[in-house]
Amino acid sequence: MQPTYNRRNFLRHAGAGALALTALTQFRAASQPTRQPNIVWIYSDDHAQAAVSAYGGHLAKVAPTPNIDRIAQKGMRFNNSFVTNSICGPCRAVVLTGKHSHLNGFRQNGDKFNPHQQTFPKILQQSNYQSAVFGKWHLGTDPVGFDAWEVLPGQGHYYNPDFLTAEGRKQVPGYVSDVITDRALQWLESERDKEKPFVLMVQHKAPHREWEPGPDHLTTFDDVEIPEPDNLFDDYANRGSAAKLQDMSIEKTMVLESDLKVWPDGPVEDPKLKGRWKRTLGRMNEQQLADWNAAYRPKNEAFRKANLTGKELVRWKYQRYMKDYLRCVRSVDDNVGRVLDYLEASGLDKNTVVFYSSDQSFYLGEHGWFDKRFMYEESLRTPLVAMGPGIIPEGTTCDAMVQNLDMAETFLELTGTAVPDDMQGRSLVPLMKGETPDSWRDAIYYHYYEGEGKVHNVYVHYGVRTARYKLIYFYTLDEWEFYDLEKDPSEMRNEIANPEYADLIEQHRSELARLRKHYQVPETA
């Protein structure tokens, strides 16, 4: 393991200039475009669209993401990018298969992905592509269809993470976002066959709960006040039961120790907390823990002295949560920059299409929540930016409705590979070239399966979103919700009983039924 670790340190600290020098002997061959482009898919976990500054949201000035923005500036920002099922594993299965959860068989976390089914990496292997995936996998079975893979077990850990490999399990020292990127760059530089095109999936754990910042960003944002959303203290009036029954609130659900980092200064005695400590601070080495305590203990001492209650306590929790979340995002953004720098230094950027996205978006205090799952906008939307010379014009945007359902088809068309008829999405290549087909979708289908009694107690539901309206059916509650997103973008008023919307509601019921038939959704699901 030691030689790999030394190489990792070189890749991390040498910088773009040194990488360029090491690549000079291969620069000419690497920079010559081949018939088939390379694809780099950079995928994070729970990165809210609102926390990508390229989208210009309320966090753009206080927490910019300059490297992710580089992709948007050199290519395209998709303004209306959505998921099919806002939860980690199912979104990853959709990307691999181009099929909704009910067809690919992975409906909720805890399911096991069927490795024998058709996936885009398997298809690309048959088209002479090399394929590799490093980082978060979260599908319960080993990756299939990849020439190289090293993935986190389950959710993985932030510090000194373990990886599952074809040779067995190993632990790698360092911070997870850096380590995943190190491994990807090592594969690009010295392990792939440079005569073949490739698809590389760089899949980050961050900024997933428990939002553990890396050593480079333990005090980032200490002197910044993160703006609060207008509905941080949402009382869920004018909504249905589901919003009131959830268990994902900043006020009530967050764990003071592991989520908010207010650990005892001494040993953890509470048996309920020992497991949380073991998977967080307990994984750190002596220096990592010392740096962590130097950053957090003074702030925790001030918090204890303040003895906050009520809304002031919620506001403090929000600030701590958001700063830790954004610190994790900052490390992801740093590592996106490392990948982009390497592609430029090696000349690979001239024939590589780069994507950045997240498995789904996330609540950043809107409705008083964290997490995802609901079909409301904050977790339905997900960031998606892409760049590719000769394919995507620089500095462009796309307003068409796209989904993670479309990614497999997009990768295949980009590589000149036939798209199987049973895939359910549509290639984004025409959109990337600035063309919107007349037949492009004007509605999307969504279905969340995990349900009540599971993590965060979000009730099962499905629905349809069009350009302006959204209809949701919480089917075990037998409750419908309808929102006018133009008049009510924060979805604070359920208009299902408003007679002024009666015709529109019926139109959306019909469209929802059409989509369920089109996507072959069983009547029982």
- The CATH classification number of 2-13+42-213+322-436 equals 3.40.720.10
Q: Spell out the domain ranges in the chain.
A: 2-13+42-213+322-436, 448-518
pLDDT digits (tens), the chain, 525 positions: 333 333 334 344 444 433 433 333 343 333 344 469 999 999 999 999 999 999 999 999 999 999 999 999 999 999 999 999 999 999 999 999 999 999 999 999 999 999 999 999 999 999 999 999 999 999 999 999 999 999 999 999 999 999 999 999 999 999 999 999 999 999 999 999 999 999 999 999 999 999 999 999 999 999 999 999 999 999 999 999 999 999 999 999 999 999 999 999 988 989 989 999 999 999 999 999 999 999 999 999 999 999 999 999 999 999 999 999 999 999 999 999 999 999 999 999 999 999 999 999 999 999 999 999 999 999 999 999 999 999 999 999 999 999 999 999 999 999 999 999 999 999 999 999 999 999 999 999 999 999 999 999 999 999 999 999 999 999 999 999 999 999 999 999 999 999 999 999 999 999 999 999 999 999 876
Quote the Cα angle for 31-37-42, to 5°.
100
Q: What is the pLDDT of residue 297?
A: 97
Q: Cα separation of 298 and 292, whole Å? A: 11
Query: So what's the pLDDT on residue 488?
Result: 98
Confidence (pLDDT) at 524: 78
Q: Are 374 and 450 in contact (CB under 8 A)?
A: no
**pLDDT computed for residue 212 by the predictor:** 98
Please tell me the distance from the alpha carbon of residue 258 to that of residue 280, in angstroms, as a whole number. Answer: 7
Pick from 178, 132, 171, 167: nearest CA to 152: 171
How many degrees, rounded to 5, is the angle at CA 360 between CA 525 and CA 390?
A: 115
- Cα 298–chain centre separation: 32
Q: What is the CATH architecture assignment of 448-518?
A: 2-Layer Sandwich (3.30)
Ramachandran area for residue 221 (φ above 0: left; ψ -120 to 50: alpha; else beta): left
The residue behind tokens 């307990």 is 282
For residue 501, the tally of other CB atoms under 10 A from its CB is 18
pTM (two decimals): 0.93
Coil, helix or strand at residue 398: strand
The angle at the Cα of 523, spanning 470 to 454, to the nearest 5 degrees, equals: 70
- The answer to whether residues 479 and 241 touch, using CB atoms and an 8 Å cutoff, is yes
Q: Which of 178, 96, 162 is nearest to 133 (CA)?
A: 96
* Cis preceding-peptide flag for 207 (omega within 30 of 0): yes
What is the per-residue DSSP string for 179-241? HHHHHHHHIIIIIS-TTS-EEEEEE--TT-TT----GGGSSTTTT-PPPPPTTTT---TTS-H
Q: Are 41 and 201 in contact (CB under 8 A)?
A: yes
Residues 470, 482 contacting (CB under 8 angstroms):
yes
pLDDT of residue 525: 65
Helix (H) or strand (E) holding 38: strand 38-44
| Segments in 14-148 forming alpha helices (H) | 15-31, 66-73, 88-97, 101-104, 120-125
Q: Give the DSSP H or E segment for 135.
A: strand 130-135
User: Residue 372 in contact with residue 46, Cβ under 8 Å?
Assistant: yes
